[in-house]
Structure formats: structure tokens, C-alpha cells
Amino acid sequence: MKYLLITCIFLWNLSGIAAAGPDKDQVLKMLEGRHWKLDIRAFNKLGEDADIILIEIAENDSLMNVIRFRALEVLSLFPTDNTAAFLEDTAEKAFTPMARRGFETMKRSFAKTKPERVKRLATKLLNHRNANIRISAARYIRSVDQTLYKSFINTEKESWVRKAVQK
């Protein structure tokens, strides 16, 4: 009876470990590598709370930017409200390369499921201080709202930005 009780406790602990969410170190290892490629199956196996860990990694400015950029790319596999809020904030407030990738991930993740949310973000980004982000936002707007797009073209001060948007 004593051994049965010990075995049950041991198996119960193992089942708790197996059901736990992904480990941050495990996710970091998956994002590393010289010839990294997005492995959709491996990241989908992470299950619940993977978006939380990926957001932690993406916003950790003590990590190399390449790891943070990869975390943003992987977030496209987890289209939760938490992910959308983080990507919106990143696109609006982060440094330019991170902001651009945040908006690209937002488009990839939510353009079909939450198009109004993406459009609202793109509309805000039309006034971004960085021209490349304005270009990316305007190209998206061109595909969803011609009136707003024409208004942007008429009000954009930089001629090279207007030309780039029209490509």
C-alpha cells in the first residue's frame, strides 16, 4: 500500500509537469540558431501561454534583437487578444525595426479575423515619425480603404514616400 501511494504521488507530479505550459528557456532555445526557420509544428506544440512567453522575450531589450524579432514572427501563430494588444503597442511605440515587424506580424495574424483592428492601427501609423512605417501602413490601407489611401497620398509631405507607397 505504501508503494502504491508513493507511485501515485510520483505519477501525479509527472502529470503536472507534462500539463505545464512552455518553459521560457525552451522557447529561447527554439528561437536561436544561425539558420533559423519558423517551425510551425514545434511552436504550435507549445500550447497554452506560449504567447505570454513570446511577448516576454520580444519586449526584453537585454536580448539580441534577432531573437526578439523571431519572437515577434512566432507570435503570428498565436492570434490572441493579448498578442494583438502587444503588437499594437509595439508598432506604435517601439524603435523602428521592432515597430515595423510588430505591424507586419499584426497584419499576418489579424487581417482576416480582426480587420478593423488592423485598419485602426494602420490609420494611426500613417502619422508615424518613421517614413518606412508610414509606407507599410499606407500599403495596407490601399488594400482596404481607397478613400483613406488617397487622403494619405494627398497629405504626405515626402514625395519619395508617396512614390514608394504606390509601388
Q: What is the DSSP string of 57-81?
A: HHH-TTS-HHHHHHHHHHHTT---H
Nearest C-alpha neighbor of 149 from the set 129, 135, 128: 135
- Residue 67 grid cell: 531573437
Rounded Cα distance between 114 and 121, Å, is 11
16, part of any domain? no
Q: Where in the sequence is the domain holding 97, given as residue range(s)?
A: 24-165
142, part of any domain? yes
108, part of any domain? yes
96, part of any domain? yes
| Residue 9 predicted with pLDDT over 90 | no
14, part of any domain? no
- Split at pLDDT 50, 70, 90, the class of 22 is confident
Cβ–Cβ under 8 Å, residues 142 and 165: yes
- Split at pLDDT 50, 70, 90, the class of 1 is low
- Over residues 30-44, the pLDDT tens digits come to 999 999 999 999 999
Question: Model pTM?
Answer: 0.82
- Over residues 41-83, the pLDDT tens digits come to 999 999 888 999 999 999 999 999 999 999 999 999 999 999 9
Task: Give the CATH number, domain containing residue 80.
Answer: 1.25.10.10
- Residue 2 grid cell: 505504501
The domain total for the chain is 1
12, part of any domain? no
| Residue 20 predicted with pLDDT over 70 | no
Using CA atoms of 67, 97, 142, 122 in order, give the dihedral in degrees to the nearest 10: 90
